Structure 1
Amino acid sequence: MTVRVTNIQHFSLDDGPGIRTTVFLKGCNLTCPWCCNPENISFEIENYIHNSQKESFGYDISLEELEKEILKDEVFYVENNGGVTFSGGEPLLQIRELKPLLKSLRSKNINICFETSLSASSDLLKIAIEYINEIFIDMKILDKKEAKNVLNLDLDLYYDNLELINNSNIDHGNITFRIPLNNEYTLKEDNIKEILKCIEKYADFNVEIFKTHNLAESKCKSLNQEFAIFSPVDDEALNEVLEKIQELNSNARIISL
């Protein structure tokens, strides 16, 4: 059995506790205008020209080969509580294919983390929950109509999946909301109010906020995709949001991605 990936990044420090191997899975059903990994949106392998050479975003890898890649860093996991992080794209969309690998990694006591937008069916999430130690959950636009129009996100499904995670056996100290902030969408006053309501409901989850950036512009050009340029978020606005969140949840911080 194979899965489709774009990159396997060793020695990652921002994708969960300790030193980690991050596996970027290809394919996502969202259309976030600020996406920093546009090469992971399409499920198809995409060709492009770089320095007059034909290159590709995406390749298929067997579960056996992927496990070998992950276990290359096993000694580092043991030393600092690291592990493997599945990112994307939306990794839940390949969870059925990943299941035998997850089962094998858990048998070896490898810490497993997922980064997800929760834009997958609850049945797929339930499979992942069996094996997850840590999880990062995107929190973006929480207005139902705008979430659908801008992100293609079903907000009812998002909240249903949040409840599944909340009621699971995953330690709440290992659950983290990640909130990308930009002036054009997520920093709108009404959206921040909805974000604060959600954080208050799940006040024992961790929260990380960060500024969206324009670093994916070159990838979009390679893929002949339009790229939306976002105005810079100033530090004052970022800190103001952090203060509001910390009134509800002390486990909140600013990160840089």
Structure 2
Amino acid sequence: MRLNISDIQHFCTGDGEGIRTTVFFKGCNLCCPWCHNPETVSSAPQILRYADREIACGRNVSVAALVAEIGEDGEYYRASGGGATLSGGEPLLQAEGAAFLAKSLRSEGTEVLIDTAGCVPFSAFEKVMPYANGFLFDVKACTEEDYARIGGEFFLVRDNFGKLTKAGANVRARVPLIPNFNDGKEYCEKMCAFLRSLGAEKVDLLPFHRMGSAKYAALGKTYAYRETPPMSLQRAEEIAAIYKKYFQVKIER
């Protein structure tokens, strides 16, 4: 079996506990204007053209090759409590392949987390649930209107998150803090109420940054947030204080 991926990053520390290898699947069904991985949105191969170089993005890789490469860092996973994270893009758009990869990694003793936005049928989750140690579930908004703005379907996020928690899956909510979208005090309170209704207990907050801005220019695209300053740590901590009233909270830096 083969998978369509954009990149593999080793020694990651922000995609779950411990030292991890993150596999970025290519293709996403959302259109978040703040996305810092714009090269993962299209499932088609692309060229990122920088001033001094060109980088091909998008390759079809066998699961066996991925398992071999990820397994090279096994000692770091064991020492740090880490493992592999399947991210994207949206890995559950390739649910059958993601499940096969996760099963293969687990058979080698590697922990697997699935990083998903959840805007897929629950049948996609059912394929990977037997092999995933947990889910990093990106919750970007708490209203149907706001999900429609980014091409998503609110009811899928709501239903899928709820079904995972009811099934006893290890689920951690991840909320990107986006200026003028979901970072207002009133909105944060509504988001907390929404997450509580889904049974969330742990929340990672991801403060807005512009580290992917150069990729937009390299792809010939305009970055909608090019004039928006990164969120300060002080502002992120103010927001975290709201979430901490209800959840175990971690600010990802």
When normalised by structure 1's length, the TM-score is: 0.90
2:167 paired with 1:164: no
The answer to which of 236-245 and 8-17 deviates more is 236-245
Q: Give RMSD over aligned pairs.
A: 1.8
Within 5 Å, give how 1:234-245 maps onto structure 2. 234-245=232-243
In structure 1, C-alpha distance between the alignment counterparts of 2:65 and 2:234, rounded to whole Å: 46
Give the AA of the match of 2:252: I
SS in 2 for 1:56: strand
* Deviation digits for residues 36-62 of structure 1 (CA, Å, limit 9, x no counterpart): 100000000012433565431111111
Q: Is the 8 A contact 1:129 1:168 kept in 2?
A: no
Equivalent residues in 2 for 1:142-221, closer than 5 Å: 142-148=142-148, 150-171=149-170, 175-202=171-198, 205-221=201-217
Letter in 2 for 1:165: L
Aligned residues: 251
| Cα distance change, pair 210–97 in 1 and its aligned pair in 2 (3 A) | closer
Cα shift readout 1:195-230 (whole Å, capped 9, x = no counterpart): 110233356521111321122221001111110122
What is aligned with 2:252?
A: 255
C-alpha distance in 2 between matches for 1:124 and 1:255: 27
Distance 1:14 1:54 in 2: 27
Q: Distance in 2 between matches of 1:213 and 1:95?
A: 29
CA offsets, 1:147-176, max 9 Å, x none? Answer: 11x2111000111101121022424xxx22
1:199–1:65 distance in 2 versus 1, CA, 3 Å: same
**Contact 1:24 1:88 (8 Å CA) reproduced:** yes
- Does the 8 Å contact 2:10/2:21 carry over to 1? yes
Query: Which shifted more, 8-17 or 35-44?
Result: 8-17
Structure 2 length normalisation: TM-score? Answer: 0.92
1:44-123 aligned within 5 A:
44-51=44-51, 53-123=53-123
Q: What 5-or-longer segments of structure 2 have no aligned partner?
A: none
Counterpart-to-counterpart distance in 1, 2:140 and 2:242: 16
Helix, strand or coil at the partner of 1:213: coil
Contact 1:203 1:248 in 2 (8 A): no
Which residue identity is paired with 1:56?
A: A
CA distance in 2, matches of 1:156, 1:189: 24
Q: Contact between 1:48 and 1:55, CA under 8 Å: does it hold in 2?
A: yes
Task: Report Cα offsets for 1:122-151 as digits up to 9, x if no partner.
Answer: 110111212111211111121211211x21
